[in-house]
Amino acid sequence: MITDRAGDPACAQVPYSTQFRWEGTPQAGDRVSFAWLAVPHPFPKDQYLFQRGGQQPYAVRKLVEGICFVADTPKLVAAKVGEEEKREEWVLLNAGGVEVKLSNDGLVKELATNARCLYVDTREGQPARVWAHDATFLSVNAREVFRQASRGDVLREAK
């Protein structure tokens, strides 16, 4: 949910905020967790702009609308950011380093890995940049990006 607080003088520096809303009755022993994706930098310019006392305009709403949590559990968090038409960025936190296969309806239809932490920047569904921590493999859209015999870190950029 996006909250527009632009009219509140106390919120002049942060006129838009995002929040989760959850309703339910947890039972004793239930675990409820929420993942947050912080983007601590100016947003690129586009049609969703706001202007505040000399500040540069930021594309707050479009970026926030492009965030989708594909998985959100205590052991696995996977978020997709797709603010540009042919680009998606993926962030994955996989505490146990277990093999995961995620399905999605965006440019990246399938992502499989055992990385404990992963960042993938894709262009038209193909990896342009990859950072994987403590992983042996990654495949995107059923195409192997890397595979190695033992767990390790991988940093790759498309040529």
Tens digit of pLDDT at every position of the chain (159 positions): 666 666 777 776 666 666 666 678 888 988 777 776 666 555 444 444 444 444 444 455 666 777 888 998 889 999 998 867 788 999 999 999 999 999 988 889 999 999 999 999 999 989 999 999 999 999 999 999 999 999 999 999 976
What is the pTM for the complete model shown? 0.71
**Neighbour-count burial of 145, counting CB atoms closer than 10 A to its CB (0-12 exposed, 13-18 middle, 19+ buried):** buried
